[in-house]
Amino acid sequence: MGEYKIEEVSAPNRDKVELLGETYEKGKPEGEETGRWRQKLENRAEKLKYLKTAERYWYGKDWFGSEKRKTPA
């Protein structure tokens, strides 16, 4: 995948800006390895770290930046 799809659009308070289009390959993931995250992590500590990070993302209240909501869901 060499070429990127770039589109010129107008933006607020500016003339024209370049907008980067899709950079992913079309299609659905296929094969036996799809969704097998447990086998990709080497040991129990890595698996626990993965799960704690996911829990923090969904249930944590200590987020900063783009993930932080002004009003809780």
The confidence score (pLDDT) of residue 1 equals 47
The residues spanned by each domain of the chain are 37-62
CA distance 19 to 16: 9
pTM metric for this prediction: 0.38
Instruction: Evaluate whether 53 touches 45 at the Cβ level (below 8 Å).
Output: no
Q: What is the spatial distance between Cα 14 and Cα 51, in angstroms, rounded to a whole number?
A: 43
More confident residue, 71 or 6: 6
Residue 65 scores a pLDDT above 60: no
For residue 2, the model assigns a pLDDT of: 60
What's the pLDDT tens digit per position in 3-62?
788 888 888 888 888 888 888 878 887 877 777 877 888 899 988 888 888 777 777 666
